[in-house]
Structure 1
Amino acid sequence: MKRCVFTGLLLFVWSSVTLGQDVLRVGAKHFNEGYILGEMVALLLEDGGFTVERRFNLGGTAVTFEALKGGAIDVYPEYTGTLSAEILGAPELTGVKAIDSVLQRLGLRISNSYGFNNTYALLMRPRQADSLAVRDIADLQKHASLQIGLSYEFLKRRDGWGPLASAYSLSQQPVGLEHGLAYQALREGRIDVTDAYSTDGEIGKYGLRLLTDNKHFFPMYEAVSFYRAGLPAKAKEQLRKLTGKITAAEMQALNAQALFEEKPFRTIAHDFLRAKQLIGPQADTPASRWADITRHVWDHLLLTGLALLAAVIVALPLGVVLYRVSYIAKVVLYLTGILQTIPSIALLALMIPLFGIGLVPAVIALFLYALLPILRNTVVGLMIVDPALKKVAAGIGLTPWNRLWLVELPLAMPSILTGMRTAAVINVGTATLAAFIGAGGLGEFIVTGLALNNTQLILQGAVPAAVLAVGIELLFELLEWWLVPRHLRRGRL
């Protein structure tokens, strides 16, 4: 635990020291094209002499934009249609120059287009589309029974399902699912229609049919670098190298490499940039699988360890106070219980405007989730100590402090340790979601695996997380054996 605290302090100190140095933080949203383009941006900046921190696997547009606006990242790949319709709420804005002029007022800028338009689209299986005579989105009006499955972000976007359904008078009620799983559901016939990006690698691989947007509802989604206006001039010069260098067909092929050849995103980006002679002959040396897993396990332990330590430091003494001042115990326990009802991903997202992204907001969120089990078990454990023993302790002249330290806390220790164990196991699972705000950990494997529909990658994060949970259970068994008197351990599970 001391090592966790020491490492955490080092991270904070290191972050403070490097603020004024040539360290740039590159973000990427959690889908395979975002990862590939994010790696291209990172490699170009590294080729220009900058040290780059990769903050990939960020949640949807809202999370990534808040991270950029708040200074948690310096640049990430975005699309003009998303910028105009979703971020600025001005779908009438078209073209890079018009969007860039508005963004300048927010202290943000965009580069020129990379060269391709990755528009939204709806798609179907060709055989079913032919049998129903569905060629364009308007034809869906005639088939209200079609099962539509859409990505969660598309369901809520201003340029997503709601306005699209209104524009085309569509009556279907879509279900939400992860974008990476939608293609499998479509091929297996569990859904009939889904949303897609026109450069998705699955479209050509599976021969799927893009429905024509004959009302031109979707704007142009030209890929650009979205960055803070204060980015160094040399960095902007490096980003300009991508202008007009990627065609839609090339991007679709790069996405297919990630999906079907299972190449690392860094390798795909590196090989493409080298082929275009956009970077020098830097070595592409991704970490070995075991080294990568070890690093993510350590990050996961750091997240959960810091959060648990902070929760113990706060909840244990607070539990003693509530035991002594019992009339406010229910109120405090009720308030901490409310924290448990907040969905994990929502709580993490709420942390971004306050604390940015990365380690700090993730630890704070996990700390809040760990409070209730430790606090409640501390209070309950102290309250159920045998009153006769309390009277005996008082009768032999022990002070209230001595009674607490020598009698009540030792007798309550089994309950207190159970609360700590519960909090630790909950945090191990919840910490996997911290990947959505760039905090690292084993959730990165799971999130990336979902984006690629790669079961092996998902298991690469899920199995170590499960092993960590079991290991924590065993660790607390040892702590209980060490701290709890033998007669109090008898018959306990």
Structure 2
Amino acid sequence: MRSIVYTIFLIMCSIAVQAQKSIRVGAKHFNEGYILSEMIALILEDGGFTVERKFNLGGTVVSFEALRTSAIDIYPEYTGTIAAEILKQNRSVTAADLAPLLRDNWSLEISAPYGFNNTYALVVPQELADKAALKTISDLAQHSELRIGMSFEFLKREDGWDNLARHYGLRQQPTGLEHGLAYQAIHEKKIDVTDAYSTDGEIKRYELVVLKDDKVFFPEYQAVSFYTAALPVRAKALVHKLTGAITETEMQRMNSQALFEQRSHREIANEFLVSKGLIGSKDTASDSGIASILEKTWIHIQLTFMALLAAIVVAFPLGIVLYRYPALSKVVLYIAGILQTIPSIALLALLIPLAGIGTTPAVIALFLYALLPILRNTMIGLFTVDPPLKNVATAMGLTRMQRLRLVEIPLAMPMILAGIRTAAVINVGTATLAAFIGAGGLGEFIVTGLALNNTSLILKGAVPAALLAVILELVFEAIEWLLIPRHLRQKVL
């Protein structure tokens, strides 16, 4: 009897621990991705799990790497994308065929489809379609004058523009655009054709025509949950509530609500799930008020200063060493310069396999970008100290270290502080991109605003970031005023 009670106790403890385990839900940075990820998160929370939202992940590559390296546990994906972009398989591969391939290659799994096919498509304005008799993608081959703008991800996907153009014999050279901004561009007649998802709410709003895929290039893009095999069994069962629960019409309506009714993704997802009886009713208070701005600003400050402090600790003494051994300076500065030229989003993506997503890779990237200005200014400041002053210090009997500590570093301090000041301002701006790897900060507003083509949301992140940069300038000006002698300060300023 005692053993039975003990066994029951262990089972209950196991269930309690499982319920308390935090499940990290990811989301790509586009409208539908946010809504579907909120549905997953809300279903898990309704089932008793603690959920950590890792939204705004930068496209398929970043999201998949985050899942593969266990930086997230689950996110919504599409079967066509998994087949063509991740597995590099023939586009006719079915959802059933994907399961063993994902399990054998990466110990990953997918759920049954949600019920709608969000295929890629090319769209044109209704007026243009009527005027140029555009009904199919093949018809584009007869109109080389058309201006085509494509989302950046679609340009280089396996199931994207390059292969589509070869498949249909299209000769146009498209321009890269953010997906949310492409609709605005086509509405303002700055472009004539763009890529779209068939459930996008903008298609009906802007009176666009979906060109028929008459040569059957695009596969089916059935929406599914994409997760690690280690996801708790009960969590998998909860997520399967979405199986067959969403139609294309319903998904398009929810996308429209986010875009044109300015409703939050969480509110939209909650309303849909409650109406379907998939979760119980719960409060979904908006998270876009002053408290949210302050919270994200604080995260932004933390990212900036952790990276800046690390860069100072490394670059300042390294600059002194290179000043003492100038033969090494060119090589080190060359390496630091190369790091500075790597595009921010590319560097963040490259760090995911090494450091996952979130704060760690963001701080590493910001640290690398802050190195060059601090290192270079430290060296320049020391090298440009007037030689007669060095000679006077030597004649006074100062040792090399004493001369460095008492004469050279104080005289070089204006230039050193200028480098730190530059690095700080660079970090404030670059830290907005940390949102693409789930690190949070003010970039979350900007990335979400771009996805929704919502200027007010973009400004909600951009304005505090700009103010933060201005405040930093004033802080460093005050530091220079306090630490640098007046005659040197006036020379620099």
TM, length-normalised to structure 2: 0.95
Give the distance between the partners of 2:339 and 2:86, measured in 1 at CA: 29
CA shift at 1:92, angstroms?
4.4
Give the distance between the partners of 1:333 and 1:96, measured in 2 at CA: 50
> Alpha carbons of 1:38 and 1:147: their partners in 2 closer, same or farther (altered >3 Å)?
same
Which residue identity does 1:376 align to in structure 2? R
CA shift at 1:20, angstroms?
11
Q: What SS is found at the alignment partner of 2:226?
A: strand
Corresponding residue number in structure 2 for 1:438: 438
Matches within 5 A, 1:191-340: 191-340=191-340
Give the distance between the partners of 1:330 and 1:20, measured in 2 at CA: 55
CA shift at 1:483, angstroms?
1.0
Is 1:359 the counterpart of 2:373 in the alignment? Answer: no
Give the distance between the partners of 1:251 and 1:135, measured in 2 at CA: 24
Cα-to-partner distance string for 1:76-103 (whole Å, 9 max, x where unaligned): 0000110111111112453322111211
Contact 1:93 1:99 in 2 (8 A): no
Give the distance between the partners of 1:335 and 1:439, measured in 2 at CA: 26
Which residue identity does 1:188 align to in structure 2? E
Contact 1:319 1:379 in 2 (8 A): yes
Identity %: 65
Give the distance between the partners of 1:460 and 1:171, measured in 2 at CA: 40
Contact 1:81 1:91 in 2 (8 A): no
Contact 1:446 1:460 in 2 (8 A): yes
> Alpha carbons of 1:137 and 1:288: their partners in 2 closer, same or farther (altered >3 Å)?
closer
Contact 1:31 1:452 in 2 (8 A): yes
CA shift at 1:485, angstroms?
1.4
> Alpha carbons of 1:287 and 1:200: their partners in 2 closer, same or farther (altered >3 Å)?
same
Q: What SS is found at the alignment partner of 2:38?
A: helix
Corresponding residue number in structure 1 for 2:4: none
Matches within 5 A, 1:469-480: 469-480=469-480
Give the distance between the partners of 1:19 and 1:238, measured in 2 at CA: 13
CA shift at 1:288, angstroms?
4.9
Q: Which moves more between the two structures, 390-399 or 444-453?
A: 390-399
Give the distance between the partners of 1:287 and 1:119, measured in 2 at CA: 31
Which residue identity does 1:220 align to in structure 2? E
Give the distance between the partners of 2:281 and 2:460, measured in 1 at CA: 31
CA shift at 1:337, angstroms?
1.1
TM, length-normalised to structure 1: 0.95
Is 1:39 the counterpart of 2:24 in the alignment? Answer: no
Cα-to-partner distance string for 1:178-220 (whole Å, 9 max, x where unaligned): 1001111111111111100000001111221000111221111
Contact 2:19 2:48 in 1 (8 A): no
Give the distance between the partners of 1:418 and 1:221, measured in 2 at CA: 52
Give the distance between the partners of 1:91 and 1:24, measured in 2 at CA: 32
Contact 1:180 1:450 in 2 (8 A): yes
Give the distance between the partners of 2:383 and 2:491, measured in 1 at CA: 21
> Alpha carbons of 1:19 and 1:402: their partners in 2 closer, same or farther (altered >3 Å)?
farther
Give the distance between the partners of 1:290 and 1:149, measured in 2 at CA: 36
After the TM superposition, which segments of 4 or more aligned residues of structure 1 sit over 4 Å from their partners?
Answer: 18-21
Which residue identity does 1:480 align to in structure 2? E
Corresponding residue number in structure 2 for 1:398: 398
CA shift at 1:306, angstroms?
0.4
Corresponding residue number in structure 2 for 1:112: 112
Give the distance between the partners of 2:74 and 2:90, measured in 1 at CA: 22
Give the distance between the partners of 1:410 and 1:354, measured in 2 at CA: 39
Corresponding residue number in structure 1 for 2:54: 55
Matches within 5 A, 1:131-210: 131-210=131-210
Is 1:387 the counterpart of 2:387 in the alignment? Answer: yes
Which residue identity does 1:465 align to in structure 2? A
Cα-to-partner distance string for 1:57-92 (whole Å, 9 max, x where unaligned): 001101100000000000000001101111111124
Q: What SS is found at the alignment partner of 1:366?
A: helix
Cα-to-partner distance string for 1:146-197 (whole Å, 9 max, x where unaligned): 1111101111011111111111111111111010011111111111111000
Contact 2:26 2:55 in 1 (8 A): yes
Give the distance between the partners of 1:464 and 1:421, measured in 2 at CA: 18
Give the distance between the partners of 2:119 and 2:400, measured in 1 at CA: 70
Give the distance between the partners of 2:72 and 2:23, measured in 1 at CA: 8
Corresponding residue number in structure 1 for 2:23: 24
Q: What SS is found at the alignment partner of 1:285?
A: coil
- The Cα RMSD (Å) is 1.4
Q: What SS is found at the alignment partner of 1:241?
A: helix
> Alpha carbons of 1:288 and 1:165: their partners in 2 closer, same or farther (altered >3 Å)?
closer
Is 1:78 the counterpart of 2:53 in the alignment? Answer: no
Aligned residues: 476
Contact 1:78 1:224 in 2 (8 A): yes
Give the distance between the partners of 2:172 and 2:95, measured in 1 at CA: 34
Give the distance between the partners of 1:151 and 1:243, measured in 2 at CA: 29
> Alpha carbons of 1:420 and 1:19: their partners in 2 closer, same or farther (altered >3 Å)?
farther
Which residue identity does 1:156 align to in structure 2? K
Structure 2 gaps, min length 5: 1-16
CA shift at 1:399, angstroms?
2.0
Which residue identity does 2:263 align to in structure 1? K
Q: What SS is found at the alignment partner of 1:403?
A: helix
CA shift at 1:320, angstroms?
0.7
Give the distance between the partners of 1:104 and 1:389, measured in 2 at CA: 69
CA shift at 1:124, angstroms?
0.5
Give the distance between the partners of 2:193 and 2:286, measured in 1 at CA: 37
CA shift at 1:129, angstroms?
0.6
CA shift at 1:403, angstroms?
1.5
Give the distance between the partners of 1:236 and 1:48, measured in 2 at CA: 11
CA shift at 1:33, angstroms?
0.2
Give the distance between the partners of 2:468 and 2:213, measured in 1 at CA: 48
Structure 1 gaps, min length 5: 1-17
Give the distance between the partners of 2:266 and 2:91, measured in 1 at CA: 36
Which residue identity does 1:345 align to in structure 2? I
Contact 2:43 2:239 in 1 (8 A): yes
Give the distance between the partners of 1:348 and 1:207, measured in 2 at CA: 37
Q: Which moves more between the two structures, 163-172 or 234-243?
A: 163-172
Q: What SS is found at the alignment partner of 1:490?
A: helix
Q: What SS is found at the alignment partner of 2:446?
A: helix
Contact 2:18 2:49 in 1 (8 A): no
